[in-house]
C-alpha cells in the first residue's frame, strides 16, 4: 500500500474550486476540508457542503478528512486569548457541545470522509482549563463516530492541553477508538520533533499534517514550504514510514504570500522524501 498527499483548498482562498484545480494540476487526488466560502465547514449549510462535494466529485477528488474544530474550545467564562479557530467560536457552552459533535459527523457524511479531527480543550489558566481524557463528551463522541463508521483523530495542538508525546500516548491508550492526527510541525514546536517521539507515536498515527517554518530573530515562526524550514522532515518521515507505510500526508503550509507555490513545492518534497513515494 502507498500513502498519498492531500491539500486544503482554503489555503488558496474562499472559493474551494481554486484549491481543487491546483490539486488536479499537481496530481493530488485528496482534499482536507476545513473552511469554504469564508466559513468553517461545521457552520456551512447542507447545500453549501453538497456543492463542495460536487466540485470535488467533478474533478475526481476525494475528501480525505474533515479538519473540524471540535474541542478547540473553552467555557464562556474563560478567556482563550488569540486562537486560530478558522471561523468557529472558541468559547462554547457545555450544553452546545454535543450538538457540534453530531454536526461534525453529519458534515463528514455529506463530504464522504471517514476522518474527523478533534482537539483537547484550550489551555486558559489552571483554574479554568478543562481536562480532556475524562471529559464525558469524549465517550459519547467516540460511540457516535463508531456507529457512523468514522474515526475521530486527535491533533497535537500547542495551544491545547495535550500536545506532547507522553500525554498523547496516555489518552490514545486509554481510548482505543481514538486515533492520532499527527502534526509534525506542532511536535517540533513543543520540543519533541525527534525520531524517538515519532517512533513512539507512529503506531497510533492515522493522518499527518505537514508544515514547516523558520524562527525569526524575534522568535516568531515564519512559515515556508515543507522541506525548507527547521522541522527535520528527512529523519521524521523516514521513521514514520517505517512504522506506518501508508498514511495520508496533508499539506498545511500556512504560507500567505504564495500559497500555491508553497503547496507545489511541498507536494514535490513529500513525494521524493517519503520512502517509496506518495500518490
Distance separating the N- and C-terminal Cα atoms of the chain? 10
Per the prediction, the chain carries an average pLDDT of: 97
Distances (CA, A) of 2 to 5, 36, 118, 172: 10, 29, 25, 25
Percent of the chain with pLDDT over 90: 94
Which pLDDT tens digit goes with each residue over 59-92?
A: 999 999 999 999 999 999 999 988 989 999 999 9
Q: What is the mean pLDDT of residues 247-254?
A: 97
Report the sign of the C-alpha dihedral through residues 211, 157, 104, 36, in that order: negative
The per-residue pLDDT for 2 is 87
- pLDDT over 90 at 126, yes or no: no
Q: Which helix (H) or strand (E) holds 30?
A: strand 30-33
Q: Which helix (H) or strand (E) holds 36?
A: strand 35-36
Q: Which residue has the higher pLDDT, 128 or 172?
A: 172
Q: Return the closest-CA partner of residue 8 out of 17, 19, 18, 22.
A: 19
Paired strand residues for 250:
6, 209
How far is the C-alpha of 36 from the C-alpha of 219, rounded, in Å? 32
Residue 243: count of CB within 10 angstroms of its CB: 15
Q: What is the mean pLDDT of residues 232-247?
A: 97
Helix axes 16-26, 259-273, angle to 10 degrees: 40
Which pLDDT tens digit goes with each residue over 133-156?
A: 999 999 999 999 999 999 999 999
Cβ-proximal residues to 180 (8 Å cutoff; 6+ apart), any chain:
153, 154, 156, 168, 172, 201, 204, 205, 206, 207
Contact yes or no for 80/122 (Cβ under 8 A): yes
Q: How many helices (H) and strands (E) does the chain have?
A: 9, 12
Q: What is the mean pLDDT of residues 101-115?
A: 98
User: Which pTM does this prediction carry?
Assistant: 0.97
Residue 193 half-sphere exposure toward CB, CA atoms < 13 A: 22
Cβ-proximal residues to 197 (8 Å cutoff; 6+ apart), any chain:
165, 187
SS3 5: strand
The per-residue pLDDT for 1 is 73
Sorting pLDDT into bands at 50, 70 and 90, what band is 98? very high
The per-residue pLDDT for 195 is 98
The per-residue pLDDT for 81 is 84
**Quick one: DSSP state of residue 63?**
E
The per-residue pLDDT for 173 is 97
* Cβ neighbourhood burial of 211 (10 Å; 0-12, 13-18, 19+): buried
Q: What is the mean pLDDT of residues 206-216?
A: 96
Q: Where are the alpha helices (DSSP H) in the chain?
A: 16-26, 46-58, 94-111, 137-148, 165-174, 184-189, 195-201, 233-243, 259-273
How far is the C-alpha of 101 from the C-alpha of 68, rounded, in Å? 9
Which pLDDT tens digit goes with each residue over 19-61?
A: 999 999 999 999 999 999 999 999 999 999 999 999 999 999 9
Amino acid at each position: 500500500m502507498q500513502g498519498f498527499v492531500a491539500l486544503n483548498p482554503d489555503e488558496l482562498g474562499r472559493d474551494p474550486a481554486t484549491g481543487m484545480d491546483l490539486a488536479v494540476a499537481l496530481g493530488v487526488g485528496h482534499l482536507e476540508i476545513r473552511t469554504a466560502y469564508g466559513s468553517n465547514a461545521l457552520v456551512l449549510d447542507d447545500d453549501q457542503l453538497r456543492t463542495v462535494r460536487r466540485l470535488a466529485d467533478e474533478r475526481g477528488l476525494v475528501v480525505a478528512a474533515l479538519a473540524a474544530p471540535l474541542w478547540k474550545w473553552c467555557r464562556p467564562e474563560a478567556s482563550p486569548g488569540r486562537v486560530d479557530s478558522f471561523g468557529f467560536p472558541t468559547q462554547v457552552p457545555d450544553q452546545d457541545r454535543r450538538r457540534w459533535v453530531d454536526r461534525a459527523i453529519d458534515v463528514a457524511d455529506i463530504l464522504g470522509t471517514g476522518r474527523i479531527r478533534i482537539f483537547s480543550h484550550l489551555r486558559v489558566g489552571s483554574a479554568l482549563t478543562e481536562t480532556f481524557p475524562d471529559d464525558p463528551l469524549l465517550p459519547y463522541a467516540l460511540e457516535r463516530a463508531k456507529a457512523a463508521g468514522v474515526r475521530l483523530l486527535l491533533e497535537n495542538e500547542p495551544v491545547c492541553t495535550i500536545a506532547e508525546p507522553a500525554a498523547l500516548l496516555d489518552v490514545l491508550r486509554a481510548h482505543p477508538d481514538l486515533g492520532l492526527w499527527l502534526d509534525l510541525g506542532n511536535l517540533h514546536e513543543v520540543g519533541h520533533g525527534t525520531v524517538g517521539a515519532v517512533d513512539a507515536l507512529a503506531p497510533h498515527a492515522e493522518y499527518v499534517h505537514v508544515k514547516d517554518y523558520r524562527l525569526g530573530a524575534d522568535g516568531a515562526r515564519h512559515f515556508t514550504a515543507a522541506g525548507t524550514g527547521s522541522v527535520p522532515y528527512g529523519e521524521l518521515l523516514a521513521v514514520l514510514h517505517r512504522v506506518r507505510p501508508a498514511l495520508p500526508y496533508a499539506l498545511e503550509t500556512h504560507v500567505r504570500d504564495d500559497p500555491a507555490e508553497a503547496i507545489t513545492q511541498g507536494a514535490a518534497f513529500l513525494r521524493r522524501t517519503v520512502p517509496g513515494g506518495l500518490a
